Amino acid sequence: MTEPAISESLATARRRLTDALAEAGRPVADARLLAVSKTKPAAMIREAWHLGQRDFGENYVQEALDKQAVLADLEGIAWHFIGPLQSNKTREVAEHFAWVHSVDRVKIARRLNDQRPAALEPLDICLQVNISAEASKSGVSLAELPTLAEAILDMPRLRLRGLMAIPAPAQGRTAQRAPMARLREALEELRKRFPDAPLDTLSMGMSDDLEAAVLEGATLVRLGTAIFGARQRHD
């Protein structure tokens, strides 16, 4: 089966983002799309790149490295690692990604810091917060967040940019917004506590809750299905 062209779905996703920013009274440059390309072929990423998309999110290290090798000619592409990260995979991630959104413990952060090649910019980091406790086992708790943030701010090869969450699926804007408001407040508190840190990123919102996320201040919205269509493999 051939994959459908994505020009329409990408245009629709961009319109959703622009409309949501307008509804929130936020400037149009305030948030951007992270195209989540896990399980999707390199050809679709190339197509999205030709349409101007630059940020791509991947969840599985080996799959991502395979696609990066094929797409090495795409200038300005930024790879974001957004999946669960085990210690034995940190080196590849430190060497081949610009961002990691799923850091939730010091041990992983320290390895990324130690393994980030000197020739590259510091690795941009979002801390994954377990914002609706029942939803997942990953993510730092709100109580432990400041301690983790402080430790990472001491790591010179990492740049702490903000917070990421995967809230439990919810129906309706009000229910979707509640955990996102908690994440926004957590970022505001971190900013007060660490005023010199470059904390400018709220990574939240997916295909089903983009609008709620933008209303609560999301700056990076992670869209998979809405851009690339339903996934067949993995999840």
The string of DSSP codes covering 141-165 is -TTTHHHHHHHHHT-TTEEEEEEE-
138 binds ligand PLP (CB under 6 A): no
Torsions phi, psi of 41, nearest 5?
A: -70, 155
d(CA 223, CA 77): 16
β 201-203/78-81 pair status: unpaired
| Minimum CB distance to ligand PLP, residue 226 (Å) | 6
Six-digit token pair at 48? 């999205």
> Which residue, 92 or 208, is less far from ligand PLP as judged by CB?
208
Nearest approach, Cβ of residue 118 and ligand PLP (Å)? 29
Other CB atoms closer than 10 Å to residue 101's CB: what's the count?
28
Q: What are phi and psi of 32, to 5 degrees?
A: -135, 165
Cβ closer to ligand PLP: 73 or 235? 235
From 145, 116, 114, 117, select the one nearest 129 (Cα to Cα): 145
Among 155, 166, 187, 214, binds ligand PLP (CB under 6 A): 166
User: Contact letters (x/-) for ligand PLP, 71-100, by CB under 6 A?
Assistant: -----------xx-----------------
Q: Is 162 in the site for ligand PLP (CB under 6 A)?
A: no
- The CB-of-195 to ligand PLP minimum distance in angstroms stands at 29
Exactly one of 35, 36, 48, 170 binds ligand PLP (CB under 6 A); that residue is: 36
Residues forming a β-bridge with 127:
103, 163
- Candidate residues 38, 80, 111, 184; the one interacting with ligand PLP per rule CB under 6 A: 38
Alpha-helical runs (H) found in 71-215: 90-96, 106-115, 145-153, 173-193, 210-215
Map the footprint of ligand PLP across residues 40-69, applying CB under 6 A: 59
Task: Kindly write out the interface string for residues 194-223 of this chain, putting x where it contacts ligand PLP by CB under 6 A and - elsewhere.
Answer: ------------xxx-------------xx
Residue 167 near residue 132, CB atoms below 8 Å: yes
- Shortest reach from residue 40's CB to ligand PLP, in Å: 10
Distance between CA atoms of 183 and 167, rounded to whole angstroms?
10
59 versus 90: smaller Cβ distance to ligand PLP: 59
- Asked if 225 interacts with ligand PLP (CB under 6 A), we say yes
Burial per residue of 23-36, b for 16 or more beta-carbon CB atoms within 10 angstroms, e otherwise: ebebeeeebebbbb
Q: Which two tokens stand for residue 53?
A: 């998309």
CB of 163 to ligand PLP, least distance (A): 13
Number of residues that bind ligand PLP (CB under 6 A): 14
* Contacts to ligand PLP by CB under 6 A: 36, 38, 59, 82-83, 166, 206-208, 222-226
